[in-house]
DNA sequence: TGGACTGCCTAACGATCGTTAGGTAGGGTC
DNA sequence: GACCCTACCTAACGATCGTTAGGCAGTCCA
């Protein structure tokens, strides 16, 4: 009954790394297997197919982001702005602490096989709706269409950091500040301008 | 002396479409050729290799963005904000008017073969430095490190629109407004807060 | 009329791909 | 000691890949 999960996990980790670095088509099962120290055929003992493995890696990436969002929500906030700030920090930290899994979701989802994409849509929608609810709560009186645009812009800005962020050059803190400032003040300013 | 460019151009166009839709590894020359109505081997009459073709498509995408930036710069602006706004609009319009070429640059560059990436770096750097100069001009007194962060966040927000923008659901104008508002007011607000 | 050039073709090369079939060493259970 | 399960292995399958060699119809110029 004791199942050894470590080999399976090692395959998942290696797959996440290779997939996010090289893309789906350029990552062969033989290369992946050699990274783990086994043969390609042995991957099939743990996973049904390359697509199933891909799906599971992407699923794990999404779970990481959702878990973090829920953890952040546990805290108490003295303002809408600090709540937004905490979530921006949380998203960025979760993103970069598990880059192989999460970056894959940002950069490779679009070109993933249709069967893979379909399985992931519900979980992605779930995460998006969490953010929509958050923005609606901290930016009341902002129309839904604008909330939607803000969320997409915010996601774009945050997720782009996987392409350029270099931990050696400084923390994510400053980026987190700038982004929060931008979308907070921007929305606020816009609201006042339109109201007048 | 008259060279027939139409076939070559048709290959480039089809390649841009397939590459941005399916990724490099999943786009075979046989599929590409069938799209154009020729055989895979005939692609080699026009291009040296698959990588050379890929490089040229990416190069064209970058040229589109740079040309647009320069065209926008021709105009007169009555404020830094309107200048920024014009460039944001221009970037978004150029991006979406040539989506197959430009989206490829945003989404697939990271996983492109090293030899392809190396050839494109100078042109990408050029475009980035144009934006750095722009932001430095319209946001004076903002430290260089923050300009850099702002540019990266702005790029991320704008470029993410390739994943979700649906022309059928409305124009890019509103997104352009929201983004400009955010980064303008955010930087402004931040400057005042830090100064105090 | 003939040679050169253009723009495609067919056929095939070796390499590599995801995947399957079947075997085997080693540990746990009765 | 017989059995079974786990976690791998070797070997091979057909398919597909990028690429090359060589041929052929058409056009153009001398």
Tens-place pLDDT, residues B118-169: 999 999 999 999 999 999 999 998 899 889 999 999 999 999 999 999 876 7
For chain A, percent of residues with pLDDT exceeding 70: 95
**Is B102 within the bounds of a domain?**
yes
**Is B188 within the bounds of a domain?**
yes
Residue B183, both tokens: 């980064």
Taking the Cβ of residue A135 and every Cβ of chain B, the question of whether any pair is shorter than 8 Å is answered with no
Mean pLDDT estimate for chain A? 91
The CATH number covering residue A139 comes to 1.10.357.10
pLDDT tens for residues A65-88? Answer: 999 999 999 999 999 999 999 999
For chain B, percent of residues with pLDDT exceeding 70: 95
* Euclidean distance between CA atoms A144 and A43, whole angstroms: 46
Q: Which nucleotide is nearest to A39 (CA to C1')?
A: D9
**Is B152 within the bounds of a domain?**
yes
* Euclidean distance between CA atoms A127 and A62, whole angstroms: 8
**Is B28 within the bounds of a domain?**
no
Please report the beta strands in chain A, taking only residues with DSSP state E, as ranges in sequence order: none
Q: For residue B94, what pLDDT is reported? A: 96
Domains identified in chain A, total number: 1
Q: Which of the pair, A196 or A29, is modelled with greater confidence?
A: A29
**Is A21 within the bounds of a domain?**
no
Is strand D within 7 Å of residue B34 (CB)? no
Residues 6+ apart with CB under 8 A from B100: B13, B16, B17, B19, B20
Protein residue closest to C17, using CA and C1': A28
Q: Which of the pair, B48 or A141, is modelled with greater confidence?
A: B48
pLDDT over 80 at A195, yes or no:
no
Nucleotides on strand C lying under 7 Å from protein C-beta: 6-12, 16-22
Q: Please indicate whether, in this complex, the C-beta atoms of B161 and A154 are within 8 angstroms of each other.
A: no
Q: Which residue has the tokens 């931040």?
A: B190
pLDDT band at A167 (very low <50, low <70, confident <90, very high): confident
Taking the Cβ of residue A156 and every Cβ of chain B, the question of whether any pair is shorter than 8 Å is answered with yes
Mean pLDDT estimate for chain B? 91
Query: Half-sphere exposure (CA, 13 Å, Cβ side) for B150?
Result: 30
Rounded to 5°, angle at Cα B47 from B46 and B53: 130
pLDDT tens for residues B55-90? Answer: 999 999 999 999 999 999 999 999 999 999 999 999
**Is B49 within the bounds of a domain?**
no
Q: Please indicate whether, in this complex, the C-beta atoms of B185 and A183 are within 8 angstroms of each other.
A: no
**Is A31 within the bounds of a domain?**
no
pLDDT tens for residues A89-133? Answer: 999 999 999 999 999 999 999 999 999 999 999 999 999 999 999
A residues 163..182 contacting B (CB < 8 A): 163-164, 174-175, 177-179, 181-182
Shortest CA distance to B177 belongs to which of A196, A141, A184, A186? Answer: A186
Q: Which residue has the tokens 């150029």?
A: B94
* Domain span at B108: 56-195
C-alpha distance from B158 to closest chain A C-alpha (Å): 7
* Euclidean distance between CA atoms A148 and A15, whole angstroms: 33
DSSP element (H, E) containing B186: helix B173-195
**Is B22 within the bounds of a domain?**
no
Least confident window among A141-150, B105-114, B183-192: B183-192
* Euclidean distance between CA atoms A161 and A166, whole angstroms: 9
Q: How far is CA A109 from CA A102, B18, B112, B172, in A?
A: 10, 16, 16, 23
């Amino acid at each position: 009954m004791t199942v050894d999960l470590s080999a399976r996990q090692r395959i998942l980790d290696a797959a996440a790394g290779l997939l996010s670095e090289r893309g789906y088509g350029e990552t062969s099962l033989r290369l992946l297997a050699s990274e783990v120290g086994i043969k390609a055929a042995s991957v099939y003992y743990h996973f049904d197919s390359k697509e199933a493995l891909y799906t599971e890696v992407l699923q794990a990436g999404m779970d990481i982001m959702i878990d973090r969002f829920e953890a952040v929500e546990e805290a108490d906030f003295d303002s809408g702005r600090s709540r937004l700030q905490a979530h921006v920090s949380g998203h960025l930290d979760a993103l970069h602490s598990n880059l192989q899994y999460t970056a894959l979701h940002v950069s490779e989802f679009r070109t993933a096989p249709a069967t893979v994409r379909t399985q992931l849509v519900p979980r992605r929608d779930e995460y998006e709706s969490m953010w929509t609810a958050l923005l609606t709560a901290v930016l009341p009186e902002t129309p839904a269409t604008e909330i939607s645009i803000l969320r997409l812009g915010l996601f774009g800005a945050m997720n782009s950091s996987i392409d350029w962020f270099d931990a050696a050059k400084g923390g994510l803190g400053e980026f987190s500040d700038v982004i929060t400032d931008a979308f907070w003040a921007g929305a606020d300013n816009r609201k006042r301008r339109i109201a007048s």
